[in-house]
C-alpha cells in the first residue's frame, strides 16, 4: 500500500513507520519535527519524508496524492505541553483532521486511521476495564478535540463512506519515547539516581501498553473496512507508586521515591483510575496486547539504556 503517516517521526509513528516499511509498504511521513526525529537512519532512508505541519491544507493534499490510506497520528502531546498550549492543541487536532479528511476526499483515499486517546474516558465510571461503550467524559481541550474528531470521522463514514478507524491508546510506552511521559521520565530519574517524583499518593492507576504490541494492533486494525473506535490497552491496572518501584528495581537505582503534589496545571488531566478492555480489539483482529509491564520495562532497559 501507499500510506501517508502524519506524525510518523514521533514515538508511536516512528515505530509504526519502521514496521510498515519492513513489510514493503511505500511510506510518506509528514512531520513538523517539533520534538525531533525518532526515525532511525535505515527507515528514514527508505521513506519519502516531508517536514511540515498538518495545519497546512495544500501540503496535506500534496503529501497524500496517490495514497491508499492516511494514518493521522500528528498531535500536540504530553500533559504539561498540552496544558501550556491549549489553543495550538485544538488547532492541530481540528484543522489537521479537517485537512486529512479533505485530502482524502480530493485524492480519492478511502481510509483514515486516527490516533485518539484513552484520555477521553476522563472520570467515566469504572467498575471493570473501560469498554468502548462506556459514556466518555472528556474534560481537557486535548481529550475534547480527540472525541470531536472521532465523531467527525464517523460522520464522514456515514455521509461519504470513508473508512475510519479511531484508536484509543492507553499509556503507550517503550523505547524511543521522550520524557514528556511518566515511564521514560522515571527511568531518567532512576538512572541519574535522582528522586523519582511520584505525584500525589501514587495510588492513581494507568494501563501501560507496550509499543510493539501497540504497533501490532495498529497493523491489524488498518486492514478493517467500516467505522470503528477501538481501545488499544493491556488490561492491566498499575498504580504509579508500583511503577516507580519497578523502574527503580530494573534500573538498579539508588533513587529515593518521593511523593510530591502534582503541578497545578495537571489537575484537570489527573484521573484516579484508568484501565482498558481489549475485548473489541481481540474480536476484530484475533489479537490483544500481552507484554506485561515488567517485561516491557526490562525491554526498555535492554534497548535504550544498556551500556
Residues with catalytic annotation?
142
Is 185 among the residues that bind ligand UDP (CB under 6 A)? yes
Q: Which is nearer to ligand UDP, 15 or 118 (CB)?
A: 118
Q: Please, what's the b/e burial string for 224-247 (b: 16 or more CB within 10 A of its CB; e: otherwise)? A: beebbbbbbbbbbbbbbbebbbbb
Q: How far apart are CA 89 and CA 87, in angstroms?
A: 5
Site string for ligand UDP, 264-293 (x = CB under 6 A): -----xx-----------------------
Q: How far apart are CA 183 and CA 39, in angstroms?
A: 20
Is 171 among the residues that bind ligand UDP (CB under 6 A)? yes
| Closest distance to ligand UDP from the beta carbon of 233 (Å) | 12
Bridge partners of 144, per DSSP, are none
Q: Which is nearer to ligand UDP, 101 or 182 (CB)?
A: 182
Q: Which grid coordinates belong to 27?
A: 511510506
**Positions in 187-226 near ligand UDP (CB under 6 A):** 197-199, 204, 206
Q: Which grid coordinates belong to 180?
A: 514528556
Q: Which is nearer to ligand UDP, 59 or 262 (CB)?
A: 262
Site string for ligand UDP, 71-100 (x = CB under 6 A): --------x---------------------
Give the SS3 label for residue 157: helix
Q: What angle do CA 36, 40, 44 make, to 5 degrees?
A: 90
Classify residue 6 by its DSSP letter. E
Is 126 among the residues that bind ligand UDP (CB under 6 A)? no
Give the SS3 label for residue 33: coil
Which residues bind to ligand UDP, rule: CB under 6 A? 79, 119, 171, 181-182, 185, 197-199, 204, 206, 240, 262, 269-270
Amino acid at each position: 500500500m501507499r500510506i501517508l503517516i502524519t506524525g510518523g517521526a514521533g514515538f508511536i509513528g516512528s515505530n509504526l513507520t519502521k514496521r510498515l516499511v519492513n513489510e514493503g509498504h511505500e511510506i510518506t511521513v509528514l512531520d513538523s519535527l517539533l520534538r525531533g526525529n525518532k526515525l532511525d537512519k535505515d527507515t528514514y532512508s527508505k521513506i519519502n519524508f516531508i517536514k511540515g505541519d498538518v495545519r497546512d491544507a495544500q501540503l496535506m493534499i500534496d503529501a497524500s496524492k496517490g495514497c491508499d490510506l492516511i494514518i493521522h497520528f500528528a498531535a500536540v502531546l504530553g500533559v504539561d505541553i498540552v496544558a501550556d498550549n491549549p489553543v495550538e492543541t485544538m488547532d492541530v487536532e481540528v484543522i489537521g483532521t479537517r485537512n486529512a479528511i479533505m485530502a482524502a476526499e480530493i485524492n480519492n483515499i478511502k481510509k483514515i486511521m486516527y490516533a485518539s486517546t484513552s484520555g477521553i474516558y476522563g472520570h467515566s465510571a469504572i467498575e471493570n476495564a473501560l469498554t468502548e461503550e462506556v459514556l466518555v467524559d472528556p474534560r481537557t481541550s486535548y481529550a475534547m478535540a480527540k472525541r470531536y474528531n472521532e465523531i467527525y470521522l464517523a460522520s464522514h463514514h456515514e455521509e461519504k463512506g470513508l473508512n475510519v478507524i479511531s484508536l484509543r491508546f492507553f499509556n503507550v510506552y517503550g523505547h524511543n519515547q521522550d520524557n514528556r511521559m511518566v515511564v521514560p521520565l522515571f527511568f531518567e530519574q532512576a538512572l541519574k539516581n535522582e528522586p523519582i517524583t511520584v505525584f500525589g499518593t501514587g495510588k492513581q492507576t494507568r494501563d501501560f501498553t507496550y509499543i510493539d504490541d501497540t504497533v501490532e494492533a495498529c497493523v491489524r486494525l488498518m486492514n478493517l473496512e467500516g467505522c470503528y473506535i477501538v481501545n488499544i490497552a493491556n488490561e492491566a491496572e498499575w498504580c504509579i507508586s508500583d511503577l516507580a518501584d519497578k523502574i527503580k528495581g530494573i534500573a538498579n537505582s539508588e533513587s529515593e521515591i518521593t511523593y510530591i503534589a502534582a503541578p497545578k496545571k495537571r489537575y484537570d488531566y489527573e484521573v484516579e483510575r484508568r484501565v482498558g478492555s481489549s475485548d473489541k480489539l481481540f474480536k476484530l483482529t484475533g489479537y490483544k496486547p500481552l507484554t506485561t509491564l515488567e517485561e516491557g520495562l526490562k525491554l526498555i532497559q535492554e534497548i535504550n539504556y544498556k551500556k
